[in-house]
Amino acid sequence: MTLRLGPGEVARFGRGSAAVPVELVLDDPAISRLAGEIRVTQDHWQLTNHSTGHSYLVENPEGAGEYLRIPPRRVGAPIPFEFSRVVLPTRGDATVSFQVFAPDHVFLDPEAMDVPWGNSTVTAYSLDETATYFLVLVALCEPRLRDQSRVAVPTTPQIVERLREHVTCGTLTPRAVSSHIDYLAEEKLRIAGPATGESGKGDRRNGKREEIVGLALRFGLVREEHLALLPPLTGAGGRERQGAS
């Protein structure tokens, strides 16, 4: 079932009944007759949770595990994702969900802004997308970008293997990958390491990779289109991972 809503229009969802009609029927005994509603604005949509005891999740399938939790009785929560999955809890083995495609987002045109420019604003994170360290960064982020949020951040040997077929990375060594990771953490992304003695060397390196991936994805430094920089995935495992994107 597909509903098309224009700005200002509302669609209610829930179990529904003769006395409480809804546009989107979710047939589950754990879902209220009127569970919530969607309201469309010019460039985003809002979610109201009518439940008195259940929070709803709004997931961003394209955003590497991003989600919002909408608490009970929350009215008009603005949802920033262009493509969303609304998930409601149930008593069964599986949750109930539906998808929402938002209106096109509106962006400023900097050339059309009548602003007296002064000194140029420096870039917070200056990354060269043609550099080997950026390929390493994309390989680190790849599992999360392919919506495998439960998969651990790749290890150094896994990155070496992932980039082996790239035209510039055939001779890339584990030591070189570790150097690129250190360069990303210390120079490019300026991630502070754990205090001395807090953990072992392996734990520190794992934590560093996790922080690199978290920062890169939160600020959109690595996005889905960057996956095209990596060699194509091959084999059964590759097809499975591609299907998760």
pLDDT value of position 194:
54
> What fold characterizes domain 10-101?
Tumour Suppressor Smad4 (2.60.200)
Where do the structural domains in the chain lie, given as residue ranges? 10-101, 132-243
pLDDT value of position 191:
87
φ, ψ of residue 112 to 5 degrees: the values are: -90, -5
Q: What is the distance between the alpha carbons of residues 26 and 21, in angstroms, rounded to a whole number?
A: 12
pLDDT value of position 225:
93
pLDDT value of position 2:
77
pLDDT value of position 231:
94
Per-position pLDDT tens, the chain of length 245: 678 888 889 999 999 999 999 999 998 988 999 999 999 988 789 999 999 999 999 998 766 678 899 999 999 999 988 888 899 998 877 789 998 887 777 777 766 666 666 666 677 888 889 999 999 999 999 998 887 666 789 999 999 999 999 998 989 999 999 999 998 998 889 887 654 444 455 555 678 999 999 999 988 899 999 999 999 987 544 444 444 43
